[in-house]
Amino acid sequence: MPVVQQVLFALVLGFVGWTMFRRISVIKKTIALGKPEDLTDRPGERLSTMLRIAFGQKKMFDRPVVGVLHFLVYAGFLLINLEVLEIVLDGLFGTHRLLAPLLGGFYPILIGFFELLALGVLVACSIFLIRRNTGSVPRLSPARHRELNGWPVKDANTILVIEIVLMIAILSMNAADSLLQERGELAATGPYLVSRWLMPLFSGLGDGALHAIERGAWWFHILGIFAFAVYVTYSKHLHIFLAFPNTYFTRLKPKGEMENMPAVTKEVKLMLGLQTDSGEAPAEPGRFGAKDVMDLSWKNLMDAYSCTECGRCTASCPANITGKKLSPRKIMMDTRDRLEDLGRNMLANGGEIKDDGKFLLGDYITAEELRACTTCQACVEACPVLINPLDIILQLRRYQVMEESDAPASWNSMFQNLENNQAPWKFSPGDRFNWAEKVN
């Protein structure tokens, strides 16, 4: 490879590295806007959860066919990058198939395995592209789910098309490379398992044309990988990377357990006689619930960036199924949109956030959506990467009710009964067991 190409490649690599570092820094800062939460206990259980859920994709195999196809894309993404490593080294050192002499006869076997994965990725992505755009999967239909209109549909299709084109490029590169090897233009290491079937397409071309195809596909593939790496940080496919820390730092407490505010819990215990008053001045409880992303925990915000937009949560939500506006997927997408807006705010103001007059509650997520939630945990159970939309819903609803006194009349009546009678019903606690008098 000429020195000019080496220099050009190094410049491109440096630019991509700088761009990704800048983008990752913004994501890190926006996640850090959340409140602190200690999720480092039971490291062994956390590691096991990450290996099963993120690495092993256990929950994806609830639907076996889709699980296998998704695993093909996932495994292909991870393992084909080993070949990308060789391409990067070739680009930096001006070599051609740097690892071939080191691996000897194992090299064509390894490349053949990578090609088999590339074919699997190509087939799986083609099937996903058809499924997504034919309306055969209701949870992926923008006609049924308004949150998918616009950018989300374009984003999903763009990623699938990019992956298909990149797999075609690497197979074409290897086919042209193998023909040049047969003609003695390059050191013989092929032909390879899958690309050998493409060789007849290029066999009538001259050496110069083959060199142009091989180099063109080489550059196209590696530049495509670089562009993909940058694009992913702006895409829902950021979950490719964040699924691992997100599953590791999942809350290990039972899913149905709700986080109570200590100040409120103390008042309830005093009212029920479960705790005696120490005489100390009550601590300032701060804000009840959450109005904006800064009131949520950093884990809630990582959840938002980790959302795959697969819609399994929404498809499982009884409120959504019955026609309510609530969509747990939209809750996560809205939270991420708010974080993205704040990230742009920081970039425009030298790292500081200036008040934009917007809040997560009201400007992104509506009261109607929050009130539709039954807290059944179906969305939490359905998520393949252990995201918890319900926690965000509960915190926003807590603010709505306790700070803004914005609750339906039926709710207020129940709250009053709870306060006065320690039960949702409007009768004396002493009459609570009258129903049992006529029971034999």
What are the pLDDT digits (tens) for 29-63? 999 999 999 999 999 999 999 999 998 889 988 88
CA angle (32, 35, 36) in 5-degree steps: 85
Do the domain assignments include residue 117?
yes
State the Cα–Cα distance between residues 260 and 282, nearest whole angstrom: 16
Within 349-388, residue ranges assigned H as helices are 360-363, 367-371, 378-382
From residue 6, give the alpha-carbon distance in Å to each of 3, 13, 91, 303, 342: 5, 10, 6, 40, 38
Sign of CA dihedral 6, 7, 12, 16: positive
Among 248, 270, 290, where does a domain finish? 248
pLDDT band at 284 (very low <50, low <70, confident <90, very high): low
Please list, residue by residue across 269-307, b when 16 or more beta carbons sit within 10 angstroms of its beta carbon and e when fewer do. Answer: eeeeeeeeeeeeeeeeeeebbbbbbbbbbbbbbbbbbbb
pLDDT band at 25 (very low <50, low <70, confident <90, very high): very high
Between residues 319 and 186, the one the model is more confident about: 319
pLDDT of 279 higher than 70: no
pLDDT at 136 over 90: no
Percent of the chain with pLDDT over 70: 97
Residues 222, 363: one domain? no
Asked if the structure places residue 436 within a domain, the reply is no
26, pLDDT greater than 90: yes
- Point out the domain boundary residue: 203, 224, 248: 248
Q: Does the pLDDT at position 287 exceed 80? A: no
Tens-place pLDDT, residues 66-75 = 888 888 888 8
Cβ neighbors of 161 (< 8 A, separation 6 or more) are: 129
Amino acid of residue 312 = R
Angle at CA of residue 266, ends 261 and 269, nearest 5° = 125
Closest CA relative to residue 386, chosen from 23, 51, 41, 29: 51
The answer to whether residue 435 scores a pLDDT higher than 80 is no
Per residue in 372-392, pLDDT (tens digit) is: 999 999 999 999 999 999 999
Q: How far apart are CA 372 and CA 36, in angstroms?
A: 29
Residue 25 falls within a domain, yes or no?
yes
Confidence band of 254 (pLDDT split at 50, 70, 90): confident
Q: Distances from the Cα of 287 to the Cαs of 26, 38, 360, 403, in angstroms?
A: 26, 20, 15, 8
Both 35 and 183 in a single domain? yes
Same domain for 290 and 402: yes
Number of domains the chain contains: 2
My answer on whether 212 and 305 are in the same domain is no
**Residues whose CB is less than 8 angstroms from the CB of residue 193 and which lie 6 or more positions away in sequence, other chains included:** 111, 112, 113, 115, 116
* Pick from 300, 324, 254, 325: nearest CA to 395: 300
Cis peptide before 191 (omega within 30 of 0): yes
pTM assigned to the model: 0.87
Are residues 137 and 102 part of one domain? yes
**Do 283 and 372 belong together in one domain?**
yes
The pLDDT of residue 288 is above 90: no
Mean pLDDT of 200-209: 92
Q: Which two tokens stand for residue 6?
A: 């080496």
Out of 200, 225, 248, a domain closes at 248
Range of the domain at 355: 262-426
Q: How many residues belong to the chain?
A: 440
Segment among 125-129, 258-262, 294-298, 322-326 with least mean pLDDT: 258-262
Task: Give Cβ neighbours of residue 35 (< 8 Å, ≥ 6 apart).
Answer: 294, 295, 296, 297, 298
Which CATH number is 303's domain given? 1.10.1060
**Which of 199, 167, 197, 198 lies closest to 80, judged by CA?**
167
Residue 256 is assigned to a structural domain of this protein: no
CA geometry: angle at 89 spanning 84 and 92, to 5°?
A: 125
Are both 281 and 419 inside the same structural domain? yes
| pLDDT in the model for residue 440 | 64
Asked whether the predicted pLDDT for residue 282 surpasses 60, the reply is: no
Residue 253 counted as domain residue: no
Q: For residue 210, what are its two tokens?
A: 């083959």
Average pLDDT of span 264-268: 76
Instruction: Tell me the pLDDT of the chain averaged across its residues.
Output: 89
Residue 98 lies in a domain: yes
If asked whether residues 231 and 272 sit together in one domain, one would say: no
Cα(152)–Cα(145) distance, rounded to whole angstroms? Answer: 11
Do 329 and 403 sit in the same domain of this protein?
Answer: yes
Let me know whether 268 and 241 are in one domain. Answer: no
Q: What is the pLDDT of residues 396-432, one digit of tens each?
A: 999 998 888 888 888 888 888 887 887 888 877 777 7
Q: How many Å apart are CA 264 and CA 329, to the nearest integer?
A: 30
Neighbours of 424 (CB within 10 A): 11
In a domain, 395, yes or no: yes
Same domain, 184 and 273: no
Cβ-proximal residues to 270 (8 Å cutoff; 6+ apart), any chain: 276, 277
**Same-domain status, 317 and 353:** yes
Return the percent helix, strand and coil in the chain, to nearest 5.
65, 0, 30
Asked whether residue 254 is domain-assigned, the answer is no
